[in-house]
Structure 1
Amino acid sequence: MSRVQPLLPFLRPLAAPKVSASRQHFRFSTVSRLYVDRRRTKPYNPSRFQEPGTYAATNKTSIFPQAPKLSKAKAMKLRPLKSTVSGPQYPAPIPADLPPPRYHISRSHNNNYPIYTDFKRGGNLHLTTIRKITGDLAALRDELRLFLNKKDDEVKINQLTAHVVIKGHHVLEITEYLKARGL
């Protein structure tokens, strides 16, 4: 019985905490307030005059309520903006009288063009690579050089892998060009 004796005071129920100790935790509760904060509410005074906007709406002689006045900041927000077209600027459209291409570019399994971007020299050199080319690689190189306004040494052919490598990031322009050519 000696071992049970010291545990009994520990197992007795304790008194509820004081309200002042737990009130600070109720400030952060998402539940509605349990008490009314009298400092924040204004007492209703029926002898006060009504606001002019509400008086016009309740007046028997007034047919239309008074329109609310907007501040300058709200009026600036409601003003329509000038219509401007922002978006990527694409090169001029390709003339349709070009002969059929002497090359073919196969698409990937997801029906995308095999055009990829490679970053070299720590991200300072951007290269665009076109893969899966069959036919005349030199014809594709020459057309892309004219279309992108590049120098001769900026558009190269890798004969070993049959890739065309272009300096710069031109994935969107080349994709649009190939779509216009009907490939």
Structure 2
Amino acid sequence: MTRTPKLDAVLAADVAAARGALVPLVPEAQVGAHLGVSAEGDRLVLHRFEARVRGYAGWHWYVTLARGPRVKSATVCDSGLVPGERALLAPAWVPWAERVAPEELAEQKARDEAEAAAAQEPAAEATGSSEAPAVGDDGQEADAAGDEQTPEQDAQDDAAPAGAVDGDEESEGDGQTRPRRRRRPRRRPRSAS
């Protein structure tokens, strides 16, 4: 059988020390009327004050005071904000797996699939087409006409001046000239020997 602690008269009477412990921590306007005192242990009491804090209706400030044997002055042990009997509290926490409805899971899955499909479309457009380039019998890439182009011929085409392949330059009506577009020379397919 546990013994009920006796209320210490010295600590219970020291309301000013309890209020003085709160004022440096919070604005004085947020500390309301003294609501009471209760014994928490031998020579240990808890003072409660009304909390005038917006959004904390029904909450109380508390300050715990203690003193040693044969000591007449109080020592502040703890202070804070606690909910009262009629305080507004957050609802009990429910795990996500129990909160989510099956319809929400189906909607989320559909959104994820749509986002994945949308992410794949730009990648296909960036390549220009979904078809692979044509490759000849010897593994070389063929040009649009179906003729094969060797790496040596590519290097020669790149080294040639801009107008050297098909004439020098083409003139336009306003007197300005522009280089003609180069054309790759056609190469006959290699015979299978």
- TM-score bracket, normalised by the shorter chain, equals under 0.3
TM-score between the two structures when normalised by the length of structure 1: 0.25
Higher helix share: 1
Larger relative CO (CA 8 A, sep 6+): 1 or 2?
1
**Max Rg structure:** 2
Higher strand share: 2
